[in-house]
Amino acid sequence: MLIANERATRSAYPRELQSVMSIAKAQESRDWISSWNSLNPGPTPLYELDGLARSLGIGKLYLKDESVRSDLGSFKALGAPIALARLILRLWPDHNLDPKLLFKGGYRSLLEAFTVISATDGNHGKGLAAAAQTMGCHCVIVLHANVSEEREQAIARFGARVMRVQGNYDASVEEAARLAKANDWHVVSDTSYDGYEEVPRDVMQGYGTVAAEIVEASGSDQTVPFTHVFLQGGVGGLAAGILSYFWECYGERRPTVVIVEPAQADCLFQSALRGIASKATGSVDSVMAGLACGEASPLAWRFLVSGADYFMTITDDDAVAAMRLLAIGNAVDLPVVSGESGAAGLAGLIELLSHPAQAATVGLGPDARVLLISTEGATAPAAYQALVGQSEAQVLARQRNRVRLSQST
């Protein structure tokens, strides 16, 4: 299902939004986190999928692969760690802490009694746990009933204390807030709520690194390299972090932004219908675990309400089909490991192109240059293999073999 956002604007990036998130702050975050040895050096790949673009009938298709950002396997390695660092700097303003040294574990004795907590569907909690382990503070992660045992174990490996609650993601958010108040812990959440915006802002700001690398890969911040950007929904944090960077960079020439989310977790779609941050209408449970969010982040919505052009929903089957398509590759394109949420953008693009009238409405045609962000790899390897029919290792082996063959010719 697709709707146009009647509130979207074509204008310079508003000053009131720039005061919240900016390219300058994104670049500062990028500089700080570059000292964290949990990240792989250099930018993540930006693949040109010319074979897939040709088969879909569009001009160009680009895929930013966040699965190799770090061993954490997703873009979430950029959000929670930066938010944790900025929180610590705010709480100890008189210590003149060096952010880069913080990411090297240089203040562990200062932080040994400090505890952070968050709810998660998996990737955010893993990023927070990994950063807390590096910096030397304690971490508690609250999981809801639908988070798999595999994802729980991945978080626990970073030393976090894991707690379970009944219900969905929103129930885990409420429980994390309750526990924080009762124990004098600090919430590091990627969704905002009344009276809680600083940390979610910092999380979103951390995602600016992805956008910065994309702009740099294009070779210019003057020429807009893409006509369309498909961004995953969730609570809206990733989408706000990416589109705000592009909006400030390109102004009224910014690409057309399409937000994609599961049909049963359609909180941003519903927000677009109502004009305010709203709740989902479905069960919320989805194979796209990272997007299975029941309520939009009010802070993220401030950016999406005028910066996103279209909102659409997809099915779980759509996402799995897109995962498989990327894993197979073709005679031209490399195979790519993309997880359930990671492939959602491609699933949305394919769904739109299967309806010519909708595709024409969005402006998708032979001249379209589309950007997708594969936000995660096989962050739950067993689930990935069950859905795709081959393991992450098998896909990567074929990818490496294709690269070797191309280099030898």
- Catalytic residue numbers, as ranges: 76, 121
**Rounded to an integer, what distance in angstroms lies between the CA atom of residue 223 and that of residue 207?**
22
- Is residue 15 within 8 Å of residue 247, measured between CB atoms? no
Q: Which residues contact 92 (CB under 8 A, 6 or more apart)?
A: 110
> CA–CA separation, 277 vs 235, rounded Å?
9
Question: Rounded to an integer, what distance in angstroms lies between the CA atom of residue 51 and that of residue 100?
Answer: 41
Beta-carbon neighbour count of residue 360 at 10 Å?
Answer: 11
Residues whose CB is less than 8 angstroms from the CB of residue 24 and which lie 6 or more positions away in sequence, other chains included: none
CA atoms of 168 and 155, how far apart (whole Å):
18
Residue for token pair 């739950």: 380
**Residue with structure tokens 């290792």?**
393
Paired sense of beta strands 256-262 and 228-232, if any: parallel
Q: Which two tokens stand for residue 379?
A: 């962050």
Q: Is 177 helix (H, G, I), strand (E, B) or coil?
A: helix
From residue 306, give the alpha-carbon distance in Å to each of 42, 163, 233, 309, 359: 32, 37, 15, 8, 21
Measured CA to CA in angstroms, residue 387 lies from 288, 322, 378, 380 at distances of 11, 11, 11, 11
Task: Please measure the distance between the N-terminal and C-terminal CA atoms of the chain and give it in whole angstroms.
Answer: 45
Question: Residues 328, 51: contact at Cβ < 8 Å?
Answer: no
Contact 344, 261 (CB under 8 A): yes
Q: Return the SS3 of 256.
A: strand
Contact by Cβ (8 Å): 210, 373:
yes
Please give the Cα distance from 333 to 223 (Å, whole number).
25
Q: Helix (H, G, I), strand (E, B), or coil: what is residue 229?
A: strand
